[in-house]
A and B are shown apart, each in its own frame.
Chain A
């Protein structure tokens, strides 16, 4: 049996409310909150980045896995906000976790689906018996340009998943990936903020790829929507995942535990993985879970997991996502937020 033997997440304590961003730009907060189904989002502290978030998420995953970190043979981090352009985040994270030097590491990039890419590669290496344990992490400290619609959602956080063959918490039953060249969203080398390609967002990007991957993995596995206890989709806002879920035949109750975007925002590479982590926090042995990510550019990775009895052993060994979302929140106003996110031009 190959699957997840430990999972963990990390969300920063800082928050900004949607109405505070709306007021800054003269927009009507109620229209935005209704349109995007968002209330607030996480904001990284001045001393947090993709590397620190990855370390904290992985430490939580290790608490649940109860293995010697030295036995981890591979570590992959998916993010679109790696702190260095050249020097993998994985080098620092592997060092902090104490799994160097006998480890293979690489950073992945694929807009919001880089996290599930890292998970897919980690899973595949364990399945192929190349390594005993492998870690896949999705983490981001995403930025939206000031005043852009993305600014209401772009947030920070991440999740880590350790794959192995013994002590499996959630077995991987099936995977499917779906990729095309679609110019819906991009950021050129050296540009600070990303751009989105108007008519290519929404239907030809998010919906086409998630529906493509979702329908294909259902057909490949022989399952139907009603076989699943829970389902998680990438959450660029509150509405898209609920709409795509309905189109695939899922009900709101199946989506609820993983639909955390209203309080978290869009953590990009950490979005659907953290929704999945929040779902594992409440899942029971035997539950079937479908996870479908989406990354602009564009592609989707889909996984079917079956939860084992081991979940009851590990669940309480680390902080749960709902607790991170609801406890210890520190609210920032727009000015503090702009400072935290480096949006204020300073003298060198």
Chain B
């Protein structure tokens, strides 16, 4: 069955929708109702930059069952141009191509399938630029 959480997170997963605090300008991704820094409750809706750089990464060689065919693959913390950090897979490259500081862009990809007959979950991943 489609997970309600996946559906609820579509604006973030598909379109990188975030909010910016109207008081202290902190960007929250995913959006929240109250700013953790200043307690303000009014926000402007923004779209995050789809470009950034690798802050750190790790190579997964033993993966959970649904990702087993993809090993070895990498998970990185990427800092986007607007300062927001996200955790994402870096694809279309070999593990040895990755380096801290390398530039990436976010692309729209399949994240996982809920079995052979279930829904297909999409979202962002990074590729080296």
Q: Is B125 an interface residue (CB 8 A)?
A: yes
Bound-state Cα–Cα, A158 to B123, Å: 19
A-B contact count (CB 8 A): 50
Q: Is B6 an interface residue (CB 8 A)?
A: no
- Report the interface size class on chain A: 20 to 34
**Docked-complex contact A47 and B110, CB < 8 angstroms:** yes
**Docked-complex contact B122 and A46, CB < 8 angstroms:** no
Expressed in whole angstroms, the minimum distance between the Cβ of B22 and any Cβ of chain A is 22
Bound-state Cα–Cα, A96 to B17, Å: 11
Bound-state Cα–Cα, A94 to B78, Å: 26
Report chain B residues within 8 Å CB of A339: 69
Report chain B residues within 8 Å CB of A14: 92
Report chain B residues within 8 Å CB of A348: 116
Bound-state Cα–Cα, A46 to B111, Å: 10
- Number of residues in B with C-beta < 8 Å to the partner? 19
Bound-state Cα–Cα, A49 to B108, Å: 10
Q: Is A202 an interface residue (CB 8 A)?
A: no
Given A13-B92, A14-B92, A84-B120, the answer on whether A48 and B15 have CB atoms closer than 8 Å is no
Report chain B residues within 8 Å CB of A95: 10, 14-15
User: B15 contacts which of A12, A98, A328 (Cβ < 8 Å)?
Assistant: A98
Bound-state Cα–Cα, A308 to B116, Å: 47
Report chain B residues within 8 Å CB of A46: 69-70, 110
Bound-state Cα–Cα, A92 to B10, Å: 10
Q: Is A83 an interface residue (CB 8 A)?
A: yes
From A14, which residue of chain B is reached at the shortest CB distance? B92
Bound-state Cα–Cα, A14 to B116, Å: 24
Report chain A residues within 8 Å CB of B109: 45, 47-48, 52
Expressed in whole angstroms, the minimum distance between the Cβ of B62 and any Cβ of chain A is 18
Given A46-B69, A52-B122, A339-B69, the answer on whether A96 and B108 have CB atoms closer than 8 Å is yes
**Docked-complex contact B108 and A55, CB < 8 angstroms:** yes
Expressed in whole angstroms, the minimum distance between the Cβ of A35 and any Cβ of chain B is 31
Report chain A residues within 8 Å CB of B108: 52, 55-56, 59, 96
Bound-state Cα–Cα, A145 to B61, Å: 31
Contact residues, B72-102 vs A (CB, 8 A): 91-93
